[in-house]
Every structure is written in C-alpha cells, then in structure tokens.
Amino acid sequence: MITNYGLYELGKKNNITIDDINYKNKINIEKVKKNMNFILNLQDEDDNGNGSHWVALLKRGSNFFYFDSFGAKPHKRIINLCHNLSKCKGTITYNNYIIQNITTEICGYYCFGLLYYCKKATEKTLLNLCNEFVYLFEDDTTKNKDILFNYYKIKKIKL
C-alpha cells in the first residue's frame, strides 16, 4: 500500500495539489478554499496499524465527491467535515461502484488517479468527471489493476 509520503510525492511530480493526506480523525485544514483535494485514511490515528484504506474527497465550491474504490458510503466523520467546510450548504455525492479487487492494496493509486482525472473539474463538472473516471473500470475487479496502471501510462503520470 502506498504511504502518505508516496501520495504527496505523486502529487508533486504530477502538479496536483493535495490539501491534506491524513487519518480521517486528523484532517488538517488551515484555510478553506473553493477547490480542495484530500486523500484520507479510514483508520483513526490512535488505532494500531499502518493505515487501513485510502479514500479521496474532492471539494469544488460547496459540493463534494467522496470516492472509495470499494464503493462504500462516507464515514460519519467525513460527512461532518464536509458540512463544516461548506457551512452545511453543499451536497455530498459518492460512488457506490466497486472497482478495487479485495486482494489488492492499490487504493491510494485509485485515489490519486481520480484527483488527476478531475484536476480541471469545476463545481459544475465535478460529478460528471468523477463518474467518467469510475466508469473507466470493469465489473470484473480482477481486470481493474491493469486498467488503472494503463491509464497512468497513457496519461504519462509519473510514478
């Protein structure tokens, strides 16, 4: 599984701003901006272990898109974060499409792939672009690792 340092490095190499990469209970927001990108670990900082699973949260205006490569709903703590950032005015949309195979540990790469795909997203285009990214993948999750890294190769994403 890629670390937070590895994800920051991917962002730096590919000119993608990531506002914070952290545990879901340790998100650091110094200044709320119109457009923000987060990669969050679903494990709490106090839990034992090296992190459990990366998810992405994109903010455009007061709207949010939550992405989990296993298609799960956002955790209550993440929903509260969205309400705080938008002063309860925004909408939170999420994918429920499972694209990651349970035997793989590449959730961070899926999250970064989404940030890269949506780098030019506006408040109006965020949902469409996020859905386009999700629909790049197959129902057969065993094929999706190859699809993901082929996408990285085609887009010349620096690993």
Q: How far apart are CA 16 and CA 38, in angstroms?
A: 11
Q: Which residues of 132-148 are buried (b: 16+ CB within 10 A; e: fewer)?
A: ebbeebeeebeebbeeb
pLDDT per position as a tens digit, 50-82: 668 999 999 999 899 999 999 999 999 899 888
pLDDT band at 30 (very low <50, low <70, confident <90, very high): confident
**In the predicted structure, residue 5 carries a pLDDT above the cut 70:** yes
Domain boundaries, the chain: 4-154
> What are the residues facing 21 on neighbouring strands?
39
Please report, for residues 93, 102, 107, 120, the alpha-carbon distance to residue 125 in angstroms, rounded to integers and kept in the order given: 13, 30, 24, 9
pLDDT score for 87: 80
Q: Cβ contacts of residue 34 below 8 Å, gap of 6+?
A: 59, 60, 61
pTM for the full model?
Answer: 0.93
User: What residue type is 51 in one-letter code?
Assistant: G
pLDDT per position as a tens digit, 109-135: 999 999 999 999 998 999 999 999 999
